[in-house]
Amino acid sequence: MIVLHAAQVAHELFLWAEQPVDTPAPARKRGRSARTSRANPLPFGAGTKAITGTLAGVLGENWAATRDVQRLTISIPARDGRPIASTPLVAEPPQEGSEIVMSKWTVEALRLSPTQATQLLGECLDRETLGPGVLIARDLRFWAGALRFASALVARQQFLPGLARLEDGWYARWEPVVGGVDADRLQKLAAVMPHSARALTSDPEVPPASPSAALTAFLTSVVDHIVRSGLPSAALPPLPAPRRRRIFDSTHDQWMHALHEDDGFMLGGHDEIEKLAADIRSWRLPLQMTEAAPVKLCFRLEEPPEPDGRADAEPPGRPKRTARKREDLASWFVRFLLQPAADPSLLVEASDIWKDHTARTVLLPRGDSSPREYLLAALGQAAGICPRIEACLNAAEPSGYPLDTAGASEFLTEKAAALEQSGFVVMAPAWWTGRGTKLRLAARARVAGAPLKSPSGLTLDAVVGFDWEVALGDATLSRAELEALAKLKAPLVRLRGQWVQLSADQIRAAVDLWKNGGGQMRVRDIVRMGLGAAAPVAGVEIQSAVAEGWIGELLAQLDGSAPYSEFGHPEGFEGRLRPYQLRGYSWLAFLRRWGLGACLADDMGLGKTIQVLALIQRDWRENRRAPVLLICPTSVTGNWQKEAERFTPDLPVLVHHGTERMRGAAFRKQAARHALVVSSYPLLHRDFDLFKDVAWGAIVLDEAQNIKNPETKQARCARSLQADCRIALTGTPVENNVGDLWSIMEFLNPGYLGTNSDFKRRFFLPIQVDKDPHAVERLKRLTGPFILRRLKTDKTVIADLPDKLEMKVYCPLTKEQASLYAAVVRDAEQELDGAEGIQRKGLVLATLMKLKQACNHPAQLLGDGSQIPGRSGKLARLTEMLDEMILAGDCALVFTQFAEMGAILQRYLQETFGREILFLHGATPKKQRDAMVARFQGDGEAPPVFLLSLKAGGTGLNLTRASHVFHFDRWWNPAVENQATDRAFRIGQTRNVQVHKFICQGTVEERIDEMIERKSEISARVVGTGEGWLTELSTSELKELFALRDEAVQE
């Protein structure tokens, strides 16, 4: 376990790390650090070897060779001289004591070159860990975000060539220019910087840099690097020093060369370079001026007054009206205002500033500059951008200038951006900036032709005739109106009191679209238009599709304005579907009817499995018997099999897994006979050739987040299989990770969301990175029809959910587990034959214990401290479920009866999730128990998972923050388990509690579970406590009980 941190020191980024003290760290020589600084080494500071070793492991071997290490001073909050670590995973914070104060320590820190910094930070985006046990601290994630900001500056070309003087000489550099809106963004970003991001220093006497200064220093170094790494040809190699000077005819040429080569070092006489630096400064002076001022010049475009309030009644472009004349006369006005940087809500009109000498006191409380003088200087600069501004400077006291409609349009489309880019503020009317509803000229398709009444036999591939319609907002325009608009040539038109921008090109394109008339189109494309996913046609935006009859109905059903038909219980389905499950399965059937892919994204535990089984059952009964291929993680194949056995016993299910699985023609033949073929993601790729030759009725991906990366083999295979119907199941909240959505939608409805890079540009960056609510809205509209997600907290949808839901989770054994299990059984069988009395009793209980351990994890059975990942089916399943649960913001209790298993789980889960996991067991002192419970029940950053040993945590505690309870292993006594479950299900619990009982299929765990279910014969014996009743079984019964069945191993 290691926690990686990064901090900016002067103009470089340094990496350091925390490590729990008990993990073996390279011994430190005490004397040495004392000489370099008076501060002591940070107790949990990681050594260089640990850092470089970790980086080499996760980023590549070249990191192992990093030698640029310094011992720096770090300031850290401490209590009574004990430093407080960034997470309790590193060191428990001292709970009590005097006030927390800053204290100085030393740590070994790695100096990152810009190349290293960008590589490392690029890997840290949106992640909690870099790998198992490699945690990314918040400061490191902050710098990863700052790197994004730097990239955005470069993408927007906000940089200039410059010259910087560093310790060893002059360097040509590409420097960021952070002005105007970018300056506000930088301030916003600086405001969220963790203080640890600037807590390192090489000189403890110097106060730490301010957040914005540290951020600026960081941007300065990475922007240069990003620009250089994106230069047209690969960066030029640095010239050998002696030649360097002679080869250039001038300092300017050398500067240009240095800007385009790797390091940018400038050789040459000091005076010569000083002169160049001075020239660069004077060249940049105009930019500096606008940035340094405490006020900003604003330009506000004001609409012409409404003509006698009659505008409302005026539809656009009625030929009779002399609209053109009216619009031309309308006078727009660009008003000059000053806005103090400190208080942007305060706006003072230029006219007030000319008039009133005291305006300065209002504007600038400190009074260090006259607003009149600034106004003049800024207007002078703006004059260079916009000739209209220059013209009005001839007036003595300009307050703004009038514009006609064409001028206003030009101001909005051209000048505004130029002024903003130069650091001025532009205030445009709301209808322009998009804050209001923006009216636009758009086309929509009206489906013509006789609508058919019965939809049977109709598909999305049916071809229908349609005509184009052109509309402004909701108002449809007639052709005459459109042509009148075209003649008007006014770029801005007032429609019902609201201004609309109409470019001549747009109108021409719309007229052309019309002239060419409609045509024929597949219903599929009509649907795409109807949902707003269609690309513009001939330059005209497509707004929607209008249709009547079955197509209209389909559109309405898809956008949720009309209901789809709901089915009752499928014939032969065992058990009852809850109303929301009936709706879910009807919804799947509805989309399936139209050959559209569906993503069922209900919360964990709401029964996605049985909704899919219901659909298959219905098809089977209605004699649609093409097999359904279901792909799921290896750890849940058994679960599917069990659920199908229980709910749809009619359905022939083929589980395709293991070394004995069928191949070739035999598989094809068998597959065709089954209703459901269950296989796993690894086999999807390995047996792709087998799968691709079967005519599947449907392909269902369970835990579809497994294909979230579209480039993986699994995702490619999933996309290229042929099927009439595609369904994706996932409990991961898709809206939380937009990046994963594209791949799933591409599987479901190929091409619907456009290409992946289009998608990233339009949705991923705006939503994931910038949290743009408009983009969220658009994406919702596009994908809404294909995603059904119900939350268990949503009582209006799921009114009938019981407060406590119990589920069995069937897990496979790994091969290693199976062979260990078999060995235990073999030994036991031999010994059982001769054993009697107490000895036999002990033997039975000991065997039971060992078998349970084998089912849990080989490392627990062997007790050898061996590695954890990839060796246990239960652990794999638990990790998957916890991951889903944590993403959904839920909390869980995990019970095990073995303290040693608890310790294994704690370590593994902490390293996997990079979060603290609480663990309460018999040896936990009372005081600490109370603290753990209080922390778990607390808000916000509290740990999401609480591990408890069944005996220590099974009674008395109140842990209602959890809405999931896991029983990792079983104590075959329902009373004890229920008592534990009730830790979460108590007074104060406001949500449903889901109880997941883990069972290894094909093992003693499953057999005993079945016995308890069949209560009749053993219930009396079970009423006691413990598992003693098992010892009374006969030897043959026991052998039967312990035996390992084939289905246990699923790989």
Partner 1 sequence: MAWWRRRRRYDYSDFYPRSVPIEAKGGIKAQAKRGEFAESWWAKRWIEVLEGFDIGARLHRGRSYARSGQVLSIDLQAGGVTAQVQGSRPKPYSVKIKVKTMKEAERAKLMRAISQQAIFAAKLLAGEMPKDVESALTGAGMSLFPERLNDLDTQCSCPDWSNPCKHIAAVYYLLGEEFDRDPFLIFKLRGVEREHLTAGLGRAQAAAEEAQVTTAVDKSEAAGEPLDATPAAFWHGADFPTGWLGEVHIPPMAAALPRRLGAFPFWRGADRFLDAITPAYSSASLHAQRRLLGEE
Alpha-carbon torsion (98, 99, 100, 101), positive or negative: negative
Q: What are phi and psi of 265, to 5 degrees?
A: -70, 135
Contacting residue, 17, 50, 197, 533, with partner 1 by CB under 8 A: 197
| # residues near partner 1 by CB under 8 A | 121
Contact string 102-121 vs partner 1 (x = CB under 8 A): x-------------------
Q: Does 175 participate in binding partner 1 (rule CB under 8 A)?
A: yes
Q: Which amino acid would we find at residue 633?
A: P
- Shortest distance in whole angstroms from residue 903 CB to partner 1: 26
- Which three-class secondary structure string do you get for 7-54? EEECCEEEEEEECCCCCCCCCCCHHHHHHHCCCEECCCECCHHHHHHH
Task: Give the residues across from 653 on adjacent strands.
Answer: 676
Q: What are phi and psi of 892, to 5 degrees?
A: -140, 150
Q: Does 712 participate in binding partner 1 (rule CB under 8 A)?
A: no
Q: Estimate the crossing angle of helix 873-887 against helix 837-856, to 10 degrees.
A: 50
- Shortest distance in whole angstroms from residue 692 CB to partner 1: 29
CB atoms within 10 A of CB 1015: 11
Q: Which of residues 252-281 bind partner 1 (CB under 8 A)?
A: 252-253, 255-256, 259-260, 279, 281
Query: Whose Cβ is closer to partner 1: residue 177's or residue 447's?
Result: 177
Query: Whose Cβ is closer to partner 1: residue 384's or residue 497's?
Result: 384
Q: Does 209 participate in binding partner 1 (rule CB under 8 A)?
A: yes
Query: Whose Cβ is closer to partner 1: residue 212's or residue 979's?
Result: 212
Q: Which stretch binds partner 1 (CB under 8 A): 159-167, 499-507, 852-860, 896-904?
A: 159-167
Contact string 225-244 vs partner 1 (x = CB under 8 A): -xxxxxxx------------
Contacting residue, 22, 249, 308, 1017, with partner 1 by CB under 8 A: 249
Cβ neighbours of residue 820 under 8 Å, at least 6 residues apart?
A: 854, 858, 861, 862
Q: Which stretch binds partner 1 (CB under 8 A): 178-186, 574-582, 822-830, 840-848?
A: 178-186
Alpha-carbon torsion (186, 190, 193, 197), positive or negative: positive
Q: Which stretch binds partner 1 (CB under 8 A): 175-183, 621-629, 636-644, 989-997?
A: 175-183
Q: Does 155 participate in binding partner 1 (rule CB under 8 A)?
A: yes
Q: Does 72 participate in binding partner 1 (rule CB under 8 A)?
A: no
- Shortest distance in whole angstroms from residue 779 CB to partner 1: 16
Q: Does 142 participate in binding partner 1 (rule CB under 8 A)?
A: yes
Q: Does 357 participate in binding partner 1 (rule CB under 8 A)?
A: no
Query: Whose Cβ is closer to partner 1: residue 122's or residue 365's?
Result: 122
DSSP letter for 261, please.
B
**Gap between the Cα atoms of 423 and 297, Å rounded:** 9
Q: Which stretch binds partner 1 (CB under 8 A): 248-256, 540-548, 834-842, 890-898?
A: 248-256
Contact string 717-756 vs partner 1 (x = CB under 8 A): ----------------------------------------
Q: Which of residues 906-945 bind partner 1 (CB under 8 A)?
A: 941
Alpha-carbon torsion (530, 536, 541, 547), positive or negative: negative
Q: Which stretch binds partner 1 (CB under 8 A): 73-81, 587-595, 607-615, 976-984?
A: 73-81
Q: What is the three-class DSSP state of 993?
A: strand
CB atoms within 10 A of CB 138: 15
Q: Does 158 participate in binding partner 1 (rule CB under 8 A)?
A: yes
Query: Whose Cβ is closer to partner 1: residue 194's or residue 597's?
Result: 194
Q: Which of residues 380-419 bind partner 1 (CB under 8 A)?
A: 380-381, 383-385, 393-394, 396
Q: Does 6 participate in binding partner 1 (rule CB under 8 A)?
A: no
Contacting residue, 251, 853, 897, 963, with partner 1 by CB under 8 A: 251
Q: Which of residues 979-998 bind partner 1 (CB under 8 A)?
A: none
Q: Does 101 participate in binding partner 1 (rule CB under 8 A)?
A: yes
Q: Which token pair is 1026?
A: 């413990």
Q: What is the chain's Cα-based Rg?
A: 35
The angle subtended at Cα 813 by Cα 630 and Cα 851, nearest 5°, is 150
Q: Which token pair is 200?
A: 């390192």
Q: Does 192 participate in binding partner 1 (rule CB under 8 A)?
A: yes
Contacting residue, 71, 578, 760, 841, with partner 1 by CB under 8 A: 760
- Shortest distance in whole angstroms from residue 864 CB to partner 1: 36
**Gap between the Cα atoms of 680 and 662, Å rounded:** 14
Contacting residue, 199, 323, 408, 630, with partner 1 by CB under 8 A: 199
- Shortest distance in whole angstroms from residue 776 CB to partner 1: 11
Contact string 24-63 vs partner 1 (x = CB under 8 A): ----------------------------------------
**Gap between the Cα atoms of 313 and 135, Å rounded:** 64
- Shortest distance in whole angstroms from residue 354 CB to partner 1: 10
Q: Does 774 participate in binding partner 1 (rule CB under 8 A)?
A: no
Q: Which token pair is 829?
A: 């069988």
Cβ neighbours of residue 919 under 8 Å, at least 6 residues apart?
A: 902, 903, 905, 906, 946, 947, 948
Query: Whose Cβ is closer to partner 1: residue 116's or residue 586's?
Result: 116
Q: Does 803 participate in binding partner 1 (rule CB under 8 A)?
A: no
The Cα-based distances of 60 to 6, 63, 116, 756 in angstroms read 19, 6, 11, 28
Q: DSSP characters for 672-711?
A: HH-SEEEEEHHHHHHTHHHHTTS-BSEEEESSGGGG-STT
- Shortest distance in whole angstroms from residue 765 CB to partner 1: 6
Q: Does 1018 participate in binding partner 1 (rule CB under 8 A)?
A: no
Contacting residue, 26, 286, 307, 751, with partner 1 by CB under 8 A: 286
Query: Whose Cβ is closer to partner 1: residue 228's or residue 415's?
Result: 228
Q: Could you tell me whether strands 993-1000 and 964-967 are parallel, antiparallel, or unpaired per DSSP bridges? A: parallel
- Which three-class secondary structure string do you get for 393-412? CCCCCCCEEEECHHHHHHHH
Q: Does 370 participate in binding partner 1 (rule CB under 8 A)?
A: yes
Contacting residue, 80, 274, 343, 373, with partner 1 by CB under 8 A: 373
Query: Whose Cβ is closer to partner 1: residue 193's or residue 558's?
Result: 193
Q: DSSP characters for 313-324?
A: G--TT-TTS-HH
Query: Whose Cβ is closer to partner 1: residue 210's or residue 459's?
Result: 210
Cβ neighbours of residue 353 under 8 Å, at least 6 residues apart?
A: 338, 359, 363, 371, 372, 375
**Gap between the Cα atoms of 306 and 437, Å rounded:** 19
Long-range pairs, 706-710, Cβ under 8 A, ≥24: 706/633, 706/681, 707/743, 707/744, 707/747, 708/737, 708/739, 708/740, 708/743, 708/744, 709/743, 710/742, 710/743, 710/746, 710/756
Contacting residue, 213, 346, 846, 934, with partner 1 by CB under 8 A: 213
- Shortest distance in whole angstroms from residue 583 CB to partner 1: 35
**Gap between the Cα atoms of 504 and 484, Å rounded:** 12
Q: Which stretch binds partner 1 (CB under 8 A): 149-157, 659-667, 972-980, 1032-1040?
A: 149-157
Q: Are 176 and 220 in contact (CB under 8 A)?
A: yes
Q: Which token pair is 413?
A: 């489309």
Query: Whose Cβ is closer to partner 1: residue 422's or residue 906's?
Result: 422
Contacting residue, 39, 59, 72, 154, with partner 1 by CB under 8 A: 154
Q: Which token pair is 343?
A: 């208080």
Query: Whose Cβ is closer to partner 1: residue 100's or residue 672's?
Result: 100
Q: Which stretch binds partner 1 (CB under 8 A): 58-66, 199-207, 548-556, 651-659?
A: 199-207
Q: Does 887 participate in binding partner 1 (rule CB under 8 A)?
A: no
The angle subtended at Cα 921 by Cα 917 and Cα 923, nearest 5°, is 125
**Gap between the Cα atoms of 338 and 399, Å rounded:** 11
Q: Are 517 and 467 in contact (CB under 8 A)?
A: yes
